[in-house]
Amino acid sequence: MKTYKYDTVPVIVFIYLAIMLLSACKDKQDLRVLKGAHNFDQTHSVAKAYDFIADYLDNISDGRLLMDVYPNGQLGTDRECLELLQIGSIDITKVSSGVLENFVPQFKVLGLPYIFRDKTHQFKILDGPIGRELLLTGEKYRLRGLGYYDSGSRSFYSKDILIKTPADLKGLKIRTMESPTAMNMVKQMGGAATPISFGELYTALQAGIVDGAENNPPSLYLTRHYEVCKYYSIDEHTSLPDVLLISTHTWNSLTAPQQLWLMEAVDASIVYQRKLWEEAEKYALEQLRKEGVIIIYPDKAPFIEIVQPLYRQYEKEPEIAELITAIKETM
């Protein structure tokens, strides 16, 4: 029988294609894409930190662990994203600790007024044993903390009056987050705490539904609330961090290398975001002054004194009382 040397070529090609197909299938099986959501536009430091994580993961994992980012509240408000996280519909989100306390009660300690002496003390708490322990307290609620982003300190801004002392808050309707701790603080200072969605605040200020609000300089500037509120009293009553969280469904499904990649990316993003925040805060204050906002730094002593009863309320909650003591004793 006559044979041809090319009779085996189709077989070789078939084997080669089969190997390539199996290899491609294996690569596809190894690929994991996380869904990350936040409610900021692309100019915000948190949005840039998310993009940083996505790029970092791509590089460190050789494209095997990726993150798709959904900005601008595309997937819902902070509260809605937390609920989606709990059922595993999204993988990663960022919320203020003030919102998180509604899901994980221990986080209310971070919203207590003047709980931190200064930023150095705050970062020592957040990056140390107390902060790390808090990140894991949410696991029983299907929320695992990954780390803390800087969100500065919150201070009062208003339409018609410069708030120099707590007495100036009497009778003013002040917008707060949906945080019992924040609402109790404003009430203790003499104001009327009015929880309103942040996205609706500009209109509420214009319409006189509220007389003012409390937030950090970048938020006041980027939302253009300064167009309505020309008085900013930087009393720095609270320093609520932003908390980056992952669904426990997602975390438990990641392999050990994937968990390590993610934590390395998050840790690097925290350093990056905090630097960006510092720059954004300085820039915002410069621009607010240019826009004619009157900015003062009142004496904090009267504000600190008037909120002390809030601390006494937690003497009946041993877990929170212990956290308060631990934070205050940390030098």
Domains 32-150+241-284 and 154-239+287-329 belong to one CATH topology: yes
Contact 130, 117 (CB under 8 A): no
User: For the chain (length 331 residues), average pLDDT per consecutive 10?
Assistant: 44 47 50 94 92 98 97 91 96 95 94 95 97 96 98 96 96 91 94 90 96 96 95 97 97 97 98 97 98 97 95 89 95 87
Per-residue pLDDT at 4 = 38
pLDDT of residue 179: 85
Beta carbons of 78 and 39 less than 8 angstroms apart: yes
Is 161 strand, coil or helix? coil
pTM: 0.86
**CATH fold of 154-239+287-329, please?**
D-Maltodextrin-Binding Protein; domain 2 (3.40.190)
Domain locations along the chain: 32-150+241-284, 154-239+287-329
Q: How far apart are CA 146 and CA 135, in angstroms?
A: 7
Strands of 65-70's sheet in order across: 65-70, 32-37, 92-96, 242-247, 143-149
pLDDT at 29: 57
pLDDT at 299: 97
Q: How far apart are CA 122 and CA 274, in angstroms?
A: 13
Phi, psi of 248, deg, nearest 5: -65, -30
pLDDT at 275: 97
Quote the CATH superfamily of domain 32-150+241-284: Bacterial extracellular solute-binding protein, family 7 (3.40.190.170)
The pLDDT, as a whole number, for residue 177 is: 87
What is the per-residue burial (b if ≥16 Cβ within 10 Å, else e) of 100-110?
bbbbbbbbbbb
